[in-house]
């Protein structure tokens, strides 16, 4: 996984095996550093606030960055799941998927819901992850957006 950013409790990364291919809008994951936390109901209030703020910043950065890179993202979808961990007998770990939704997507057409068949179907086999230039642009935008007044730490109580 290509790390994009991190905070006290979370790591932001470009999905190595994306569920939405780069040209359809891309796929980023936010993972919690504490792997014992299985879902958002187990978060402390401060970590929950941190996660909400982070998803907002990363979502804005992803949309702006991919549009800057020529991918016409018109919507960002946010999902936390973890169901597939049960298939291999693991306990799920909290993570949030951020999917860009491009107006001219071919495999995950907008405005339909993201199609999420099992990986064994081969549906995702030719999907491309975000590339290094995309990641650099997202990092740049995270820094810019994170400095906006609405994202100042003091306003979030953390």
- pLDDT for res 91: 87
- pLDDT for res 75: 98
What's the CA gap between 99 and 78, in Å, rounded?
Answer: 6
Any domain includes 116: no
pLDDT per residue as tens digits for the range 5-30: 999 999 999 999 999 999 999 999 99
Q: How many domains does the chain have?
A: 1
- pLDDT for res 101: 98
- CA–chain centroid gap for 71, Å, is 16
Any domain includes 118: no
What's the CA gap between 11 and 28, in Å, rounded?
Answer: 10
Q: Which CATH number is 38's domain given?
A: 3.30.428.10
Structural domain containing residue 33: 2-111+125-156
Any domain includes 98: yes
The segments of the chain whose pLDDT lies below 50 read none
- pLDDT for res 87: 82
- pLDDT for res 89: 86
SS3 45: helix
pTM of the complete model? 0.95
């Amino acid at each position: 996984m290509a790390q994009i950013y991190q905070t006290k409790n979370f790591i932001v990364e470009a999905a190595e095996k994306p569920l939405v291919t780069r040209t359809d809008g891309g796929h980023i994951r936010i993972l919690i550093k504490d792997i014992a936390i299985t879902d958002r109901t187990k978060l402390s209030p401060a970590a929950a606030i941190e996660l909400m703020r982070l998803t907002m910043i990363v979502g804005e950065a992803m949309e702006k960055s991919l549009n800057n890179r020529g991918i016409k993202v018109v919507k960002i979808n946010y999902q936390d799941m973890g169901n597939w961990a049960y298939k291999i007998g693991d306990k799920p770990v909290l993570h949030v998927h951020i999917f860009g939704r491009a107006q001219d997507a071919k495999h995950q057409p907008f405005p339909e819901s993201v199609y999420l068949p099992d990986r064994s179907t081969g549906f995702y086999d030719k999907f491309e992850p975000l590339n290094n230039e995309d990641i650099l642009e997202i990092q740049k935008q995270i820094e810019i957006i994170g400095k906006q007044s609405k994202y100042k730490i003091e306003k979030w109580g953390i």
